Amino acid sequence: MEITNVTEYEAIAKEKLPKMVYDYYASGAEDQWTLKENRNAFARILFRPRILIDVSKIDMTTTVLGFKISMPIMVAPTAMQKMAHPEGEYATARAASAAGTIMTLSSWATSSVEEVASTGPGIRFFQLYVYKNRKVVEQLVRRAEKAGFKAIALTVDTPRLGRRESDIKNRFTLPPNLTLKNFEGLDLGKMDEANDSGLASYVAGQIDRTLSWKDVQWLQTITNMPILVKGVLTGEDARIAIQAGAAGIIVSNHGARQLDYVPATISALEEVVKATQGRVPVFLDGGVRRGTDVFKALALGASGIFIGRPVVFSLAAEGEAGVRKVLQMLRDEFELTMALSGCRSLSEITRNHIVTEWETPRHLPRL
């Protein structure tokens, strides 16, 4: 059966993958309210399309931290991609590069920064978890920089791992044939069997709970790469992030895998955008499955979006070709949404092109 949208890959992945692996990718924290809300909140935003505009030429290109990309749709960091497909992060890197967009490599990848760099040209960011051993962090950041990575996406919402009950039930651990490749030589590449989630135990043992804003400043002393702070959901923290020297902000709730009952990222986006006052770009991840979702995020002030689960599910289903197809489908849908809304370039997408369910008509522009 022909796949016609991004969501259809999830069912195929569920069929193909071992239960432990599928559940790891698919699940959220606790009641999974935020997991559902990340999708549902998009459905509460409607369009106000403008008509009779010449949309024969549509330009979706943009720049992120000075790097030109083909569209404002990028690849979010997702861990352990070789659990989905033998080629794992290699396939994702090639697909992102072919699509002319950015891939973010997870700290917990099953391929190293050097291996991903070896796949060929491409603009790549590196997602960083800060380990208790700062020498490990320094070494990793230097390796990423040397391998040609262009920015750090610092995950700030994980001093402890969220409670993901399916991982506890499944006693989740990294399959024995795989390692966290970036840590292989440091004896941190393996995850022990645990009597709950092996990943939760690993995080408790290795990830630094003392992480604070001063560490964002420390990171700038060890690298020239710009730092994106990933996991901001409030205006207060957006302002502090800018003061701490962040080059950009990623509005993220970690795919609803950390604190349950936080808002959907699309609901938190506008508060963060307003707080930044245009000083740094703001990006969004979480719940994007359609080109219409991309448009809605940009209308609310995002400079671009990142997709996570669609990548691992399409990777599981069809390898590199699947990831390429997901990026192409989202691109095509987004282009169509722009055309049907009367926007020829990203700069023409405005707040007036959407209406949110929580607005009353008096918020709309006067004619």
Work out the number of other CB atoms within 10 angstroms of the CB of residue 5.
14
Q: How far apart are CA 127 and CA 113, in angstroms?
A: 11
d(Cα 198, Cα 200) in Å, to the nearest integer? 6
Cα gap 338→295, rounded to integer Å? 7
Active-site annotation holds for 254: yes
pLDDT at 359: 66
Give the span between the Cα atoms of 272 and 139, in whole angstroms: 32
Q: Residues near 224 by Cβ (< 8 Å), separated by ≥ 6?
A: 145
Cα distances (Å, whole numbers) of residue 254 to 120, 249, 287? 28, 13, 10
Question: Cβ atoms within 10 A of the Cβ of 299, count?
Answer: 23
Angle at 26 between CA 238 and CA 17, to 5 degrees: 145
Residue with tokens 């070789």: 82
CB–CB of 335/58 below 8 Å? yes
Per-residue pLDDT reduced to its tens digit, 287-308: 999 999 999 999 999 999 999 9
Q: Name the DSSP letter for residue 108.
A: T
- Quick check: 69 and 281 in contact, CB under 8 A? no
- The dihedrals phi and psi of 324, each to the nearest 5 degrees, come to -60, -45
- Rounded to whole angstroms, the Cα distance separating 57 from 113 reads 38
The amino acid occupying position 309 is R
What is the reported pLDDT for 101?
98
Q: Which residue in the list 85, 254, 353, 363 is annotated as catalytic?
A: 254
Low-confidence stretches of the chain (pLDDT beneath 50) = none
- Model's pTM, two decimal places? 0.95
Rounded to an integer, what distance in angstroms lies between the CA atom of residue 226 and that of residue 244?
12
251, 302 Cβ separation under 8 angstroms: yes
Helix or strand or coil: residue 86? coil
Distance of CA 203 to the CA centre of its chain: 20
Distance between CA 232 and CA 12 in Å, rounded? 32
Q: Are 215 and 141 in contact (CB under 8 A)?
A: no
